[in-house]
């Protein structure tokens, strides 16, 4: 049961091979049995899920069910869920019950998807290893001594371990793609604005974007059909009409040009990863695509620019956690200043504090021009590099991450080493582009991810490129089979 894809489950439910209550219960049994070793869920919502599953079964019996009604899903604990604890991986929100649902949650609920629970994550989505979570680290289902990646590490591990057929994630600098790569699953970071950010706890608002984390590209397309769309509650959401993201699956890649940036295949890349990625690219050549060498001259600016812009936005976004209206409040504050400083001091972990300090510094009068303004200029140069590249090619390809999943406790004391995990993913967020990570090989017994970057709003083409690869290789199923049994 636990390796069925979203498409399999939807079909099985339609054919009445099993009920939603049955399949939902089977996931809870597996979570109960195996998640103590993995720690991918912060909250499990079994009671609520069974009510929803029963309803879906009733709709199936009456033939009034929508296509995904009764199909289980896990949600990253960054999405507000009405009446269900929403922690964002932080002690600050350990007691927070949201009064409303995020738009992504509303859309999933309306599609009849059954929420299994809320997944573990780096605190406020800041991290690349899931080790900054107040709820403890997540263990990679391929090797329990390794990290699952982050910040959507719980979602990636839950899908890889077969605790949920799919999950939602968010990606500010790589947080869908890097954990997808580390856990051997498929993850799509859509174009900025394609999915509403309303009710998604903000980290860096000009970069944050939600997306699907699934066992394959076809399932990601099914979830995009649920999640994408304009939302009047999010002024940065795009009003460009959505499309059927499954419609282009099976379009031939003949004649497509795939750009290989020299900067993505240079020093710092694990040779075994480079080999897997190059092997995967030969599959695309066999499918009729042409590989073209390209340049992204400002690639080196991405990580430094991001680590000015993201902290700047986070310092502003996280000022709302002041111990007054919601979230953690210190005991017996002596006065207002004491309330603020102790509530924040106690509620936030080290990485969040580090980012708030950096962000406050780069925005301060006197330093704003030197850091924040410079970073915004670098951001424009990076975006222009991609715009130029997309005049020549249809997709840009490379590794998702420079290494495979690393050991727990290995990088958490060295913030800069941790930040370098995102060298291939961050520029995509700075430019607002969509990108997909698909499993493409194994190195040191751990999954390797291939990243495909597309032009704005090319999600359907990207998903097709992923699907074509998965129709002609079996990395995606092989890797899930070697994950925790
Ligand atoms: N690892 C990056 C960071 O720590 C990206 C995180 C994310 O995409 N949310 O900021």
**Measured from the CA of 126, which atom of ligand 1 is nearest?**
4
On whether residue 250 sits in a domain, the answer given is yes
Q: Which domain holds residue 65?
A: 6-256+459-482
On whether residue 146 sits in a domain, the answer given is yes
On whether residue 172 sits in a domain, the answer given is yes
**Measured from the CA of 125, which atom of ligand 1 is nearest?**
9
Residue 302, φ and ψ in degrees, nearest 5:
-65, -50
Considering Cα of 233, then 236, then 239, then 241, what sign does the dihedral take? negative
CA of 356 to the centre of ligand 1 (A): 14
- Written as tens digits, the pLDDT of the chain (485 aa) is 799 999 999 999 999 999 999 999 999 999 999 999 999 999 999 999 999 999 999 999 999 999 999 999 999 999 999 999 999 999 999 999 999 999 999 999 999 999 999 999 999 999 999 999 999 999 999 999 999 999 999 999 999 999 999 999 999 999 999 999 999 999 999 999 999 999 999 999 999 999 999 999 999 999 999 999 999 999 999 999 999 999 999 999 999 999 999 999 988 899 999 999 999 999 999 999 999 999 999 999 999 999 999 999 999 999 999 999 989 999 999 999 999 999 999 999 999 999 999 999 999 999 999 999 999 999 999 999 999 999 999 999 999 999 999 999 988 888 888 888 899 999 999 999 999 999 999 999 999 999 999 999 999 999 999 999 999 999 999 999 888 87
Q: Any catalytic annotation for residue 151?
A: yes
On whether residue 413 sits in a domain, the answer given is no
8 A C-beta contact, residue 329 and residue 448: no
- Hey, whose CA ends up nearest to atom 5 of ligand 1? 173
Q: What is the DSSP string of 128-145?
A: SSSTT-TT-PPPBTTBTT
Q: Any catalytic annotation for residue 76?
A: yes
On whether residue 394 sits in a domain, the answer given is no
Q: What is the DSSP string of 431-476?
A: HT--EEEEEEEEETTEEEEEEEEESTT-HHHHHHHHHHHHHH--HH
Any ligand 1 atom below 6 A from CB of 310 = yes
- pTM of the shown model: 0.98
CA of 63 to the centre of ligand 1 (A): 43
On whether residue 401 sits in a domain, the answer given is no
Query: Which residue carries 């990863």 as its tokens?
Result: 273
On whether residue 224 sits in a domain, the answer given is yes
CATH number, domain of 138, equals 3.90.1300.10
Domain count, the chain: 1
On whether residue 424 sits in a domain, the answer given is no
How big is the chain by its Cα radius of gyration, in Å? 21
Pairing of strands 257-261, 395-399: parallel
């Amino acid at each position: 049961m636990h390796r069925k894809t979203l498409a399999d489950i939807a079909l099985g439910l339609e054919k009445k091979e099993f009920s939603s209550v049955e399949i939902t219960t089977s996931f809870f049994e597996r979570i109960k049995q195996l998640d103590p070793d993995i720690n991918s869920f912060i909250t499990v919502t079994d009671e609520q899920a069974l009510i929803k599953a029963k309803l879906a079964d009733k709709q199936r019996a009456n033939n009034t069910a929508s296509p995904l009604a009764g199909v289980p899903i896990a949600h990253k604990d960054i999405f507000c869920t009405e009446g269900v604890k929403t922690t964002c991986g932080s002690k600050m929100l350990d007691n927070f019950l949201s009064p409303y649902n995020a738009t992504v949650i509303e859309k999933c609920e309306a599609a009849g998807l059954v929420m299994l629970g809320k997944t573990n994550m780096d605190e406020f989505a800041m991290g690349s290893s899931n080790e900054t979570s107040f709820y403890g680290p997540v263990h990679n289902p391929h090797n329990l001594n390794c990290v699952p990646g982050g910040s959507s590490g719980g979602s990636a591990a839950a899908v890889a371990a077969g605790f949920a057929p799919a999950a939602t994630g968010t990606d500010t600098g790589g947080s869908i793609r890097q954990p997808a790569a580390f856990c051997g699953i498929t993850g799509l970071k859509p174009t900025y604005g394609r999915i509403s950010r309303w009710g998604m706890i903000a980290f860096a608002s000009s970069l944050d974007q939600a997306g699907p984390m699934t066992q394959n590209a076809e399932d990601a397309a099914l979830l995009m059909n649920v999640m994408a769309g304009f939302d009047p509650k999010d002024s940065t959401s795009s009003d460009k009409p959505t499309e059927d993201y499954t419609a282009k699956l099976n379009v031939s890649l003949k004649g497509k040009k795939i750009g290989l940036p020299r900067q993505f295949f240079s020093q710092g890349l694990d040779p075994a990863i480079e080999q897997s990625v190059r092997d995967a690219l030969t599959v695309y050549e066999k499918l009729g695509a042409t590989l073209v060498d390209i340049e992204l001259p400002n690639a080196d600016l991405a990580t430094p620019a991001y680590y000015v812009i993201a902290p700047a936005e986070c310092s502003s976004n996280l000022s709302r956690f002041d111990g007054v209206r919601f979230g953690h409040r210190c005991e017996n504050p002596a006065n207002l200043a004491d309330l603020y400083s102790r509530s924040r001091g106690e509620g936030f972990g080290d990485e969040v504090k580090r980012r708030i300090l950096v962000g406050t510094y780069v925005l301060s009068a006197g330093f704003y021009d030197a850091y924040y303004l410079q970073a915004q200029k670098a951001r424009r140069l990076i975006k222009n590099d991609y715009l130029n590249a997309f005049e020549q090619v249809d997709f840009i390809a490379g590794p998702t991450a420079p290494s495979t999943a690393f050991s727990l406790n290995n990088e958490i004391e060295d913030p800069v080493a941790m930040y370098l995990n995102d060298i291939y993913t961050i520029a995509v967020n700075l430019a607002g582009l969509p990108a997909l990570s698909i499993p493409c090989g194994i190195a040191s017994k751990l999954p390797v991810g291939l990243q495909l970057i597309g032009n704005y709003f090319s999600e359907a083409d990207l998903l097709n490129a992923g699907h074509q690869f998965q129709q002609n290789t079996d990395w995606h199923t092989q890797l899930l089979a070697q994950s925790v049994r």
